[in-house]
Structure 1
Amino acid sequence: MTKKKILSMNTESTIKTSCSGMMYSHDFQLWYTYFKRRIKKEWRPEELSFLLGKPDHAYLDFEKMFQVQKFLTQESILLDRIYASSHIEAMEFHREEFEVSQERLVRLKIEEDEVKWSYSIEVPWTFLTGKKKPPAPGLRFEEWKAEKDLQLESDAMLHVRQKLEALLENNYFENGATALQMFRQVEHTGLVHLKIFPRHLKNVLYSFIQQNKLVVRNIENSYSFLLPDFQ
């Protein structure tokens, strides 16, 4: 994986980043699927790391194409559970007769400005398209940065805090709980205007840890949250 950053001063500053990695076509198909899912959910990479029970950098490393095959082997089942979907983006790769599958270099270019990230994916494959074949996958995406609505953020944190307090009272954490298990408990608000993101849960959880209401432990290579008496 390689990275390069350039700061150019136009009307506003733009940070350009480039990263690349070797992968098989099937691994690219999965990488691309999870990339699209994350952007559609409006989650940041560190929020996926949190739901996977990993350090902040774990999912970002995968998205920047570091050890893609290893990550997919270990985490794809849980990722499908997180998204409640096992759908894989359809694509068909052109192969010459007798050509065997081999790892090839894929590059991701990112431009970040004050309001969004713009992504451009460069692939070494040609896609088969036409009648009864899937269209070529889109290789350009935009991800808009979240607007800072302090009232909505406050409402979301209050909702999560109240839910977690109720779980504490009902001894929910007696045997430990993962971030994903808790997110399932708090994500639904019943309010159209109020959307709960993994970051809201993470922020409240770590405030509970500071108050010694919960502790976090690495159990079988994944973070678990427990009551202090059950360390």
Structure 2
Amino acid sequence: MNTGSTTKTSYAGMMYSHDFQLWYTYFKRRIEKEWRPEELSFLLGKPDHAYLDFEKMFQVRKFLTQESILLDGIYASSRIETMEFHREEYEVSEERLVRLKIEEDEVKWSYSIEVPWTFETGKKKPPAPDLQFEEWKSEKDLQLESDAMLHIRQKLEALLEGEYFENGATALQMFRQVEPTGLVHLQIFPRHLKNVLYSFIQQNKLVVRNIENRYSFFLTDSQQASRK
């Protein structure tokens, strides 16, 4: 397959081995879910760049301290990828440089993770983690995209009629509401919800506010007034 031009980028960051385990766990989970980094930022109630910065290894420990519990909630799992690091008897735990290399072409992202550790493997030990990943760019089916947005719009319109937004609602709370469809062929992604929410903001139905450093969505003043 001719994938055209390729763009190569590389990012690096210092982290302890346990932090790498968590970083790797969330990286692998995201790819398995077929979500993009900005979709995780959205569900976390953060600007688009927030999760991408973490994946690029910027202030990993700080991000994990602040967001790991919520990330586990998003994925409904607190399981950490198993790996056993080899250490000599004289070695102590210390931050080391980890590098993420990315090659992007027209159809996919190819990831290569370079780590400074070796892994203990063999009988009764976990296998070494896979350090090569591919993330394929989705080919958008316009009909499915339209069906997904219609499904979300109908769900949110029903929530608007009630008291759901009186005290604000987070993106994650709403995603839990709209994700089930009962249809095998229709998968809801966070980006679908984000697109519909921002169309509601343009229509003056909702407003976004920063509450304790996370975005929440509220009824507009005009919407609230119309109910009185």
Answer whether TM exceeds 0.5 for this pair: yes
Aligned residue runs from structure 1 range 78-117, under 5 A? 78-117=70-109
Please state whether the residue corresponding to 2:62 is helix, strand or coil.
Answer: helix
Change beyond 3 A, Cα 1:169–1:11: closer
Q: Which residue of 1 aligns with 2:148?
A: 156
1:195 is the counterpart of 2:174: no
Within 1, Cα distance between the matches of 2:78 and 2:84? 18
Within 1, Cα distance between the matches of 2:26 and 2:140? 26
2:45 and 2:216 in contact (8 A); partners too: yes
Q: Which residue of 2 aligns with 1:54?
A: 46
Percent identity over paired residues: 89
Q: Which residue of 1 aligns with 2:133?
A: 141
Please state whether the residue corresponding to 2:99 is helix, strand or coil.
Answer: strand
Unaligned runs of 5+ in 1: 1-9
Name the TM-score, length of structure 1 as normaliser: 0.94
Report the CA distance between 1:228 and its aligned residue.
Answer: 1.1
Within 2, Cα distance between the matches of 1:11 and 1:38? 24
Q: Deviations over 1:68-109 (max 9, x none)?
A: 000000000000000000000000000110311000000000
Q: Which residue of 1 aligns with 2:178?
A: 186
Name the aligned partner's letter for residue 221 of structure 1. N
Please state whether the residue corresponding to 2:6 is helix, strand or coil.
Answer: strand
Aligned residue runs from structure 1 range 23-62, under 5 A? 23-62=15-54
1:228 is the counterpart of 2:227: no
Number of positions where the alignment pairs a residue of Structure 1 with one of Structure 2: 221
The structure 1 segments of at least 4 consecutive aligned residues displaced by more than 2 Å after TM superposition are none
Q: Deviations over 1:137-171 (max 9, x none)?
A: 00000000011110000000000000000000112
Q: Which residue of 2 aligns with 1:63?
A: 55
Within 1, Cα distance between the matches of 2:214 and 2:3? 44
Please state whether the residue corresponding to 2:147 is helix, strand or coil.
Answer: helix
Unaligned runs of 5+ in 2: none
Report the RMSD for the aligned CA atoms in angstroms: 0.9
Name the aligned partner's letter for residue 166 of structure 1. A
Within 2, Cα distance between the matches of 1:177 and 1:222? 11
1:206 is the counterpart of 2:198: yes
Within 2, Cα distance between the matches of 1:190 and 1:134? 37
2:3 and 2:107 in contact (8 A); partners too: no
2:6 and 2:104 in contact (8 A); partners too: yes
Within 2, Cα distance between the matches of 1:102 and 1:157? 47
